[in-house]
Amino acid sequence: MVVSSLNFLLNQTFQVFSLSAQRPERIYYFYKMIKIETFTFNPFQENTFVVYDETGEAVVIDPGCYEAHEKKELAQFIESSKLTVKLLLNTHCHIDHVLGNHFIKSKYQVPFLIHEKELPVLQAVKSYASNYGFPLYSETLPDLFLKEHQPVLFGNTTMLTMLLPGHAPGHIGFYHSQSNSLLSGDVLFESSIGRTDLPGGDYNTLIKSIQEKVFALPDETIVYAGHGNTTTVGEEKLTNPFCAIPVTR
């Protein structure tokens, strides 16, 4: 097996002994993994993610960079890590998650993907960007729409699209099962949930998305949220004040 860098390998190896052979036959199984780099940008303290694997191919999720130094920080990471950006993805299209779309799209010339129900949310941003203090916001429209369960492919990696409405009508998350990672935007936070008072938001729909879809993932799933720290499905299932599942005795 040819591998480009040991950095990308999990430290798991198994020794397998052949029953018939005199000499033990050692077989190594290398698990390819993704790496997730987090940046926190703009006054909303929004988390921007670069996800990449051992091939060097990468996707940028929710680029919130607006100021020149924020764009520089993101681009320098991509350059110094020798990454090739293949896709631009938005979990949803509130202003804090879309400020850097134009920068990424124009710099790397990659397809931009959202869920179709986020299109009006995205198109509304230009009408209020100045009022929020972002007069230089430049609109970028999507090239393709993602559907629920649709795989997102780059390098050797497949992430699955999960439709998680409630905070925004076409809010999606990206689940990578091999690493137990969910990039989930503003659905579920450490001890909190996304707000539901914005246009297209609905509290009951959000709770349903979390309890029926996010909480159906393994407890050890790491939740990379759109704001704040990472958490896990198991932790939030037990302790989240808004959506914990009561333990029945």
Binding site for Zn ion (CB under 5 A): 94, 96, 186, 226
> Rg for the chain (alpha carbons), in Å?
20
Residue 128: CB minimum distance to Zn ion, A: 13
Instruction: Say how far apart CA 85 and CA 87 lie, in whole Å.
Output: 6
Which residues pair with residue 226 across a beta bridge?
A: none
Residue facing Zn ion at closest CB distance: 94
Residue 200: CB minimum distance to Zn ion, A: 10
**Residue pair 84/112 in contact by the 8 Å Cβ criterion:** no
- Which residue number, 24 or 120, has a Cβ lying nearer to Zn ion? 120
CA torsion through residues 125, 128, 129, 135, sign: positive
Residue 64: CB minimum distance to Zn ion, A: 8
Counting DSSP H helices and E strands in the chain, the numbers are 6, 14
- Which residue number, 70 or 186, has a Cβ lying nearer to Zn ion? 186
Residue 119: CB minimum distance to Zn ion, A: 15
- Which residue number, 199 or 218, has a Cβ lying nearer to Zn ion? 199
Query: Beta-carbon neighbour count of residue 62 at 10 Å?
Result: 27
- Which residue number, 33 or 50, has a Cβ lying nearer to Zn ion? 50
- Which residue number, 45 or 239, has a Cβ lying nearer to Zn ion? 45
**Residue pair 193/241 in contact by the 8 Å Cβ criterion:** no
The single-letter DSSP state of residue 103 is H
Residue 101: CB minimum distance to Zn ion, A: 14
Residue 41: CB minimum distance to Zn ion, A: 11
Specify the residue for token string 């780059």. 154
- Which residue number, 86 or 171, has a Cβ lying nearer to Zn ion? 171
| Token pair recorded at residue 213 | 């879809």
